Amino acid sequence: MMRRVTWASFVRTAKGGGACWGGKFPALFEAVLGGSLVLGSITLYVTNEQSVREISIFSAVLLVQSLPFLAAAAIAALERTPLNDFAAWRRAAMLSTYRPRLKRGSAPTAGSPVSGDVSVVP
């Protein structure tokens, strides 16, 4: 006779982050945090009506602190483009060295003599 177990002794979790909603864009939280820092910096700068130097410095500091988060989001966005593919860079290198063939015609000949005291040096 088989015994039926009603409780799970082992719960399997999703691997690779595919189950969470942040899996579609890997740097979603960095983009949100960087955007919030930029928004806070702009808000401080605009609302600083009395031109308090410390508030302006703090606004600049917030802007500088947002740069790593925005860079992470930019790199994550570029990872999904063809710019991240090695074959695209090989194709760009191949196209940049392309030289069209020129039509072969007769060899250039010397033109008529130049008038005056100026002459063509061979």
Within a domain: residue 80?
Answer: yes
Amino acid, res. 38: V
Within a domain: residue 66?
Answer: yes
What are the structure tokens assigned to 40, written together? 């806070």
Cα–Cα dist 91/62, whole Å? 41
Within a domain: residue 14?
Answer: no
Within a domain: residue 59?
Answer: yes
Range of the domain at 46: 24-94
Number of domains the chain contains: 1
What percent of the chain is predicted at pLDDT more than 90? 39
The per-residue pLDDT of the chain, averaged, comes to 80
Residue 98's pLDDT is 72
70: nearest Cα among 39, 48, 100, 44 = 39
Within a domain: residue 50?
Answer: yes
Confidence label for 1 from pLDDT (cuts 50, 70 and 90): low
Within a domain: residue 3?
Answer: no
Q: Assess whether pLDDT exceeds 60 at residue 21.
A: no
Residue 83's pLDDT is 79
77: nearest Cα among 21, 25, 22, 29 = 25
Within a domain: residue 99?
Answer: no
Residue 15's pLDDT is 64
Cα–Cα dist 40/19, whole Å? 32
Within a domain: residue 32?
Answer: yes
66, 41 contact by CB (below 8 A) = yes
